[in-house]
Amino acid sequence: MSCNSDTERAAAASASQSSSSPLLTPQDHQSAGAPAAEVAEPPVFDSSSSIVTNSEDNPSPPSTELEIPIVWPPDGKLSLNWIRNLMSVFDWASRNLEPTQLPDVFPVEVFDSLVLCASKILHKEPNCVAIDNLGSESTVVVVGDLHGQLHDLLFLLHDAGFPSENRFFVFNGDYVDRGAWGLESFLILLAWKVFFPRTVYLLRGNHESKYCTSVYGFEKEVVTKYSDRGKHVYRKCLGCFEGLPLASIIGKHVYTAHGGIFRHMPATPKRSKGKKNRKIAFNPEPSSLSIGSFEELNKARRSVLDPPWEGSNLIPGDVLWSDPSMTPGLSPNKERGIGLLWGPDCTDNFLKKFQLKIT
């Protein structure tokens, strides 16, 4: 199960190529004919008008004022009410504040604490997470590209129900770029990951990279919102991206990844003595390509800002950038410049080889 439908190229881009979605202002969210009102104090929280709390699965708390600015819990332990407030504050801020006012509601110090806490959890997870602790009453929600659509994320959580001991979520990457609220969306997911580390899983997409975020808007979004601290926030996000797992297997039979199938990597040729400084670029011939194993996937080095398109660590690029094809066989993805194209026969072989039912 993959969700990689982009048409970007993996070639290096110059800084002047950077293009991004415009950061929306409060006026962009006014309904037709409605005047643009001045930014007011945070309203009293009314659950009947908030999509993040009004559902049978997510009982609404008593009406209360939003807690602004967000404060990190003194004991360092997140609560459901803390996450509810975070979502409601981000929702309100997206409709009432300028992007540059985000630090007023979510200070850098709170950002640092959340990212540090989440990164410690993510970096300990394997490249391919096994989600096996499912009971008879468990449900699993697999989510594709969010691309900074905060309000879609809030609606999804409302509609499907919040994560719980029996409601699992697997987010398949591409949290940022293109949309105006990539940072807020990613932070909400990190909060849920910290609160429910064994029922919320965040996989990496091809946009969780330095290349994509510098070209498709996320870097500009973060620097715009956090101004002189923007580069710091952006670097912390990149470090967190490096820790995101690459794939998952749900209930032993469902494989999910942002891109898809990955190759077998033959042993890397050894350097001759006295040639330590000579770089060896090792790319298997297309005719020798074959499907890799999960042992190889878990041994791959995912802690890279941009998955390499050449060398001995090609599996991360395959998992994040590969595309399905109607042409049988396994071949280099020449259109993207990274990853693979795999045909229906490869899907069948992959499922049979690893006793899977869905990919």
Residues classed as catalytic: 207
Q: Which among 332, 334, 297 is positioned nearest to 316, based on CA atoms?
A: 297
Strand, helix or coil at 266? Answer: coil
Distance CA 15, CA 8 (A): 16
Strand, helix or coil at 291? Answer: strand
Distance CA 94, CA 111 (A): 17
For residues 187 and 128, the answer to whether their CB atoms sit within 8 Å is no
Question: Is beta strand 340-342 parallel, antiparallel or unpaired with respect to 330-332?
Answer: antiparallel
Distance CA 117, CA 123 (A): 11
Tokens of 256: 């999910």
H helix and E strand count, the chain: 11, 9
At a CB cut-off of 8 Å and minimum separation 6, what does 147 contact? Answer: 174, 175, 176, 177, 178, 179, 182, 207
Strand, helix or coil at 44? Answer: strand
330 sits in which H/E element: strand 330-332
Distance CA 283, CA 296 (A): 16
